[in-house]
């Protein structure tokens, strides 16, 4: 029963995230999911602990919900930056010339797409035609650097 509760909460979070993506909010997709997923997670923790107590089924439900939410966020952020997924989305709208697809993935265009995404998410700022890292971008860089060290990857 506890696992069914966690699965139901996750399915509800995904469905509500789909609705939130259609709402005119000034939030990126991850924040929109967090806006829905966190309150549902708190509700799941409350219900699980009240109904099952700190038992294996209760804790398992909470951990399953957290795992599913993390996996969901990972998958849709992976798709956001996937070249193949972007091409499929373009092709879903109708036939596209190969030259049009190639122009979207021209190295200059790829850089522009990534810069636009960094600008939109507040990691870089543009002033007088020049880009600079924002405080938010610096924080993210510090986190990535720490994770790179933790996992034993060389600095670039």
Q: Which of 35, 60, 80 is the endpoint of a domain?
A: 80
The stretch 76-96 carries a mean pLDDT of 75
What is the pLDDT, as a whole number, of residue 108?
Answer: 76
Residue 121, domain member (yes or no): yes
Number of domains in the chain: 2
Determine the average pLDDT of the residues in 81-102.
77
Residue 68 shares a structural domain with residue 127 = no
Same domain flag for 12 and 61: yes
Question: 91 is in which domain, residue-wise?
Answer: 84-150
Q: Are residues 91 and 68 in the same domain?
A: no
- The more confident residue out of 77 and 68 is 68
Say if 155 falls within a structural domain.
no
Q: Within this chain, do residues 48 and 96 fall inside the same structural domain, yes or no?
A: no
The last residue of a domain, from among 35, 61, 80: 80
pLDDT at 26 over 90: no
In a domain, residue 156? The reply is no
Q: Is residue 128 part of a domain?
A: yes
What percent of the chain has a predicted confidence (pLDDT) above 90?
Answer: 40
Please compute the mean of the pLDDT values over residues 136-146 and round it to a whole number. 88
Question: Do 76 and 88 reside in the same domain of the chain?
Answer: no
> What is the per-residue pLDDT for 80?
65
The confidence score (pLDDT) of residue 155 equals: 56
Whole-angstrom distance, CA of residue 65 vs CA of residue 36: 13
Q: Which residues contact 1 (CB under 8 A, 6 or more apart)?
A: 57
């Amino acid at each position: 029963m506890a696992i069914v509760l966690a699965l139901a909460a996750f399915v509800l979070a995904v469905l509500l995230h789909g609705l939130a993506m259609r709402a005119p909010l000034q939030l990126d997709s991850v924040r929109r999911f967090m806006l829905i997923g966190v309150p549902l997670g708190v509700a799941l923790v409350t219900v699980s602990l009240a109904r099952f107590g700190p038992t294996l089924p209760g804790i398992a439900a909470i951990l399953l919900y957290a795992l599913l939410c993390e996996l969901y966020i990972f998958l849709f952020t992976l798709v956001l930056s996937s070249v193949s997924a972007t091409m499929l989305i373009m092709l879903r709208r109708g036939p596209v010339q190969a030259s049009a697809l190639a122009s979207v993935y021209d190295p200059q265009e790829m850089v522009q797409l990534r810069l636009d995404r960094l600008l939109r998410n507040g990691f870089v700022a543009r002033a007088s035609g020049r880009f600079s890292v924002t405080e938010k971008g610096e924080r993210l860089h510090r986190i990535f650097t720490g994770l790179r060290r933790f996992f034993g990857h060389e600095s670039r």
